[in-house]
Amino acid sequence: MSTAVESPTNEPSFYARKGIASWLLTTDHKRIAILYLSSMMTFFLVGMTLGAFMRLEHLTMGPTIMKPTSYNALFTLHGVIMIFLFVIPGLAASFGNFFLPIMIGARDVAFPRINLLSWYLFMSGALIALSSLFTGSGPPDTGWSFYVPYSVRTGTNVTMAVLGAFTIGFSSILTGLNFITTIHRLRAKGMNWMRMPLFPWALYATSWVQVLATPILGITLLLVVLERVFHLGIFDPSIGGDPILYQHLFWTYSHPAVYIMILPAMGAISEIIPTFAHRTIFGYKAIVISSMGIAALGSLVWAHHMFTSGLSDFAIVIFSLLTFLVAIPSAIKVFNWVATLYKGSVELRPPMVYALAFIFLFSIGGLTGLFQGALAINVHVHDTYFIVGHFHYVMFGGTGFAFFAALHYWYPKMFGRMYNERAAIMAFVPIFVGFNLLYFTFLVLGLQGMPRRYYDHLPRFHAGHIWATVGSWILVTGLLLMVGNLVRGLFRKTTIPANPWGGVTLEWTVPSPPPTENFAVLPVITEPPYTFNPVAKESA
């Protein structure tokens, strides 16, 4: 896509500078990305462990390894960690930070120092939230959604957890603001909007959602704190406030947040599929428009989390309709990815395998979402394991698998090292099998009526719970194998060519790992992205 041919430079890689300070005070977007990536992976492993303990609790009926109150704390922390510390920063803060500037042909983001600040805010938010474990009167037990009035009345340390989430929200806003400005101001010469690769496009859509929705979460969480400390009364029915207002404000952010989590994932998949199909992406413009469409429509559907809260019939019909509409742009993407594979020379290497699993699992997640958009079914499955299964298919099967796909895809570029490809595939198998055993069972259990967030279950759900728990063991085994393989790869000294997969976006024109300034000479873009062969070049 670029006419600039990178001559092999002797510029040292961005890892060249040594010492703790060179990392903690860096303004290099690539180093900040590595900081994000390593902290997020750590949080992911913590969240995964908590989740595994929850499954273990359900292995037998009655108390297995913990008390009901511990279970409440566990699902709250699992949710808070996975959502605020893993999937919300997600692919944007890690791979977005690393590759957005490179893919649009820039030397860094628009505000490098604000970029570092946002990592510090993220880490302080994480520390504040995790400090709720050891301070006050115990970890919060409200669920990650902090619903009032319980979150105002519970004696547990909700205040710290909420302040932590508030701080992380601030970090998210700064990242979004930075990316929007970067994309508007720093694209390389010749890279007009329709020549921008799809991952930056997805980040652009995500950033707008981050910027426009996160402040609502900020004010909502701030009000919960004010409510707890000063008894303001806005949400507290005993003073005159309305808890439903909390739900509206909370989901006004937290539904768009779902798209903050999934849009960059979709962007990464749109990069990986053409590279391993060796074929230009099908329907580039449709994918671009659907990204922006998801961002816009996704901001209008929040009340579908509240169908059973007593909204007017008129309101829920509108929100149900809007919810169905969001499925259209998501489906457009899925069709385009599948169409890209058609007549491509598909190469099943680890990133591609994860990407294909993403399409499969995300489709199940998306379609089960439509079940719940239907008003009558929603009443039946509300607050059951069906919901839990659904959002794990979207968040973990979707964002999680896309994260792993991106990790395997960009790993050689980021680290200048290579993992063992066979081991990566061998780790994938238990992850995929365990995942489906665990969460498909959840879908079934939910339809049978198993309510979520209970630490115990009735005898008729017992078999399902055993299946799911066994699934969780297989899944965790696979995840540990995957992480082990990736970590081991870091210590295997090899030389990685600039373009190990045959990709055509700009990051594959620079050395692996890239030098600090990314490009010796800033590229000039003369073609649309994903131009793989002469035929595509002519028709483009």
244, 180 contact by CB (below 8 A): no
Nearest approach, Cβ of residue 435 and another protein (Å): 36
328 token code pair: 């259209």
242 lies in the site for another protein, by CB under 8 A: yes
Task: Indicate which single residue of 8, 62, 155, 240 sits in contact with another protein (rule: CB under 8 A).
Answer: 240
- In three-state secondary structure terms, 513 is coil
Task: Indicate which single residue of 121, 216, 353, 506 sits in contact with another protein (rule: CB under 8 A).
Answer: 216
220 lies in the site for another protein, by CB under 8 A: yes
Task: Give the CA dihedral 464, 466, 468, 473, nearest 10 degrees.
Answer: -170
Residues 258-297 interacting with another protein (rule: CB under 8 A): none
For every residue of 407-419, which 3-state class applies, written as one string? HHHHHHHHHCCCC
Query: Angle 243-277/284-297 helices, nearest 10 degrees?
Result: 170
Task: Indicate which single residue of 152, 188, 266, 277 sits in contact with another protein (rule: CB under 8 A).
Answer: 188
- Give the type of residue at 153: R
Please give the size of the binding site for another protein, defined by CB under 8 A.
Answer: 50
235-239: Cβ within 8 A, 24+ apart: 235/148, 235/149, 235/152, 236/148, 236/149, 236/152, 237/149, 238/149
Among 486, 348, 469, 472, smallest CA distance to 427 is for 486
Nearest approach, Cβ of residue 93 and another protein (Å): 17
Which is closer to another protein, CB of 52 or CB of 520?
520
Task: Indicate which single residue of 113, 153, 231, 285 sits in contact with another protein (rule: CB under 8 A).
Answer: 231
* Rounded Cα gap, residues 55 and 71, in angstroms: 10
18: buried, middle or exposed (CB in 10 Å: 19+, 13-18, 0-12)? exposed
For every residue of 147-187, which 3-state class applies, written as one string? CCCHHHHCCCCHHHHHHHHHHHHHHHHHHHHHHHHHHHHCC
209 lies in the site for another protein, by CB under 8 A: no
225 lies in the site for another protein, by CB under 8 A: no
263, 202 contact by CB (below 8 A): yes
33 lies in the site for another protein, by CB under 8 A: no
* Rounded Cα gap, residues 124 and 211, in angstroms: 20
Nearest approach, Cβ of residue 115 and another protein (Å): 12
230 lies in the site for another protein, by CB under 8 A: yes
Nearest approach, Cβ of residue 101 and another protein (Å): 11
Q: x/- site string to another protein, residues 109 to 138, per CB under 8 A?
A: -xx--x------------------------
Nearest approach, Cβ of residue 71 and another protein (Å): 32
469 lies in the site for another protein, by CB under 8 A: no
Nearest approach, Cβ of residue 143 and another protein (Å): 21
233 lies in the site for another protein, by CB under 8 A: yes
Which is closer to another protein, CB of 235 or CB of 337?
235
| Terminal Cα distance for the chain, rounded | 11
* Rounded Cα gap, residues 297 and 438, in angstroms: 31
Nearest approach, Cβ of residue 11 and another protein (Å): 14
Residue located via tokens 């005898």: 459
Neighbours of 339 (CB within 10 A): 16
Neighbours of 342 (CB within 10 A): 10
185 lies in the site for another protein, by CB under 8 A: yes
465 token code pair: 């719970």
Question: Which part of the chain contacts another protein (CB under 8 A), choosing from 32-40, 217-225, 256-264, 359-367?
Answer: 217-225
The single-letter DSSP state of residue 524 is B
Question: Which part of the chain contacts another protein (CB under 8 A), choosing from 53-61, 212-220, 330-338, 465-473?
Answer: 212-220
CA distances from 362 to 18, 63, 368 (A): 41, 34, 10
397 lies in the site for another protein, by CB under 8 A: no
96 lies in the site for another protein, by CB under 8 A: no
Nearest approach, Cβ of residue 502 and another protein (Å): 20
- Give the type of residue at 238: S
Question: Which part of the chain contacts another protein (CB under 8 A), choosing from 12-20, 119-127, 238-246, 275-283?
Answer: 238-246
Which is closer to another protein, CB of 232 or CB of 296?
232
95 token code pair: 């791979």
Q: Which residues of 267-282 are buried (b: 16+ CB within 10 A; e: fewer)?
A: bbbbbbbbbbbbbbbb
Neighbours of 447 (CB within 10 A): 16
* Rounded Cα gap, residues 463 and 467, in angstroms: 6
215 lies in the site for another protein, by CB under 8 A: yes
181 lies in the site for another protein, by CB under 8 A: yes
Count of residues making up the chain: 540
Question: Which part of the chain contacts another protein (CB under 8 A), choosing from 83-91, 102-110, 143-151, 339-347?
Answer: 102-110
184 lies in the site for another protein, by CB under 8 A: yes
269 token code pair: 């998949």
Which is closer to another protein, CB of 132 or CB of 247?
247
306 lies in the site for another protein, by CB under 8 A: no
Question: Which part of the chain contacts another protein (CB under 8 A), choosing from 210-218, 327-335, 364-372, 413-421?
Answer: 210-218
The single-letter DSSP state of residue 26 is -
Q: x/- site string to another protein, residues 501 to 530, per CB under 8 A?
A: --------------------xxxx------
Which is closer to another protein, CB of 184 or CB of 422?
184
Task: Indicate which single residue of 41, 45, 56, 177 sits in contact with another protein (rule: CB under 8 A).
Answer: 177
Residues that bind another protein (CB under 8 A): 3-7, 106-107, 110-111, 114, 173, 176-178, 180-181, 184-190, 211-212, 214-216, 218-220, 222-223, 226, 230-234, 239-242, 245, 249, 252, 521-524
